Amino acid sequence: MRLSIDGVERAFAPEVLVVIGYAGRDRAAVEHHIDELAELGVPRPASIPLFMVFPPWLLSQAPSIVVAGPASSGEAEIVVVVDDDEAFVTLGSDHTDRALEAVDIVASKGVCPKPVATSGWAAAAVSGRWEDLTLSSRIDGGVAYQDGSAGANLPPLELVAAIPWAGPRPRCFAAFTGTVPVIGDIRPSSSFAATLAGPGLPPLELNYRVETVPPLAG
């Protein structure tokens, strides 16, 4: 994957992708959300936060993704890319199969590509400023879908530092660090656009189309 950082394009070769769920700063609000999801049949996570690991080829910077079935949707998230002793911040979408989520949360994350923006910031430029950052998304050509403060979640660099590696930390990896609530119901869309913005920073933009493989007869 490639990111433009301060006008300079850098190439990264993540060895692993980590998706961190239930990363809200307010534990009571997280528990309330878990209860809401339980009413929809989504099982309780094994841990809070929930750390899920996936192969890096799920990361995508293509203008469109292809999914199976009509029940998937995106989530705007801050993504931290760690490369040796450097860290960078970009924007991604934790696209998830909502039908499968009611059966297996980890599996629901692993069957969809994870779109990532093509620009980012040095982590040093935003460390300690998470509450100044806003995450927003739009679906189907401009319908408001998410709009919230990144400060609602635990600080991304703290979450990345808490990843429970079983062995040595990979040299290069990417981590999705939590989303903000949707406006209305969680729902699929044919397109997804997200923005990560903060005072004095060039906004990060992500746009992609969602295509569904055609069903078979019978």
Query: Could you report the per-residue pLDDT of 191-208, keeping only the tens digit for each?
Result: 999 999 999 999 999 999
Closest CA to 89 of 165, 146, 10: 10
Q: How confident is the model at residue 28 (pLDDT cuts 50, 70, 90)?
A: confident
Per cent of the chain over pLDDT 70 is 100
* β-strand pairing of 2-5 with 8-11: antiparallel
* Torsion sign (Cα): 179, 204, 195, 116: negative
Please give the pLDDT value at position 110.
97
Closest CA to 127 of 161, 155, 159: 155
d(CA 85, CA 57): 22
d(CA 41, CA 170): 35
Closest CA to 85 of 161, 152, 3: 161
- Rounded to an integer, the average pLDDT of 10-36 is 89
Please give the pLDDT value at position 78.
98
pTM summary value: 0.95
Please give the pLDDT value at position 43.
81
pLDDT in tens, 131-164: 999 999 999 989 999 999 999 999 999 999 999 9
Is 130 in a helix, a strand, or coil? helix
Q: Is residue 147 within 8 Å of 165, Cβ to Cβ? A: no
pLDDT in tens, 169-191: 999 999 999 999 899 989 999 99
pLDDT in tens, 69-108: 999 999 999 999 999 999 999 999 999 999 999 899 999 9
Q: How confident is the model at residue 35 (pLDDT cuts 50, 70, 90)?
A: confident
Please give the pLDDT value at position 119.
98
Closest CA to 204 of 25, 24, 108, 81: 81
pLDDT in tens, 43-68: 888 889 999 999 999 999 999 999 99
Please give the pLDDT value at position 183.
94
> Which residues have C-beta within 8 Å of that of residue 131, sequence separation ≥ 6?
149, 150, 151
Q: How confident is the model at residue 40 (pLDDT cuts 50, 70, 90)?
A: confident
- Rounded to an integer, the average pLDDT of 22-50 is 83
Q: For 156-165, which contacts have Cβ atoms below 8 Å and span 24 or more sequence positions?
A: 156/78, 156/80, 156/89, 156/130, 157/80, 157/87, 157/123, 157/127, 159/20, 159/23, 159/49, 159/80, 160/18, 160/80, 160/82, 160/87, 162/49, 162/51, 163/18, 163/20, 163/51, 164/51
Q: What is the mean pLDDT of the chain?
A: 94
Q: Is residue 66 within 8 Å of 186, Cβ to Cβ? A: no
Please give the pLDDT value at position 46.
84
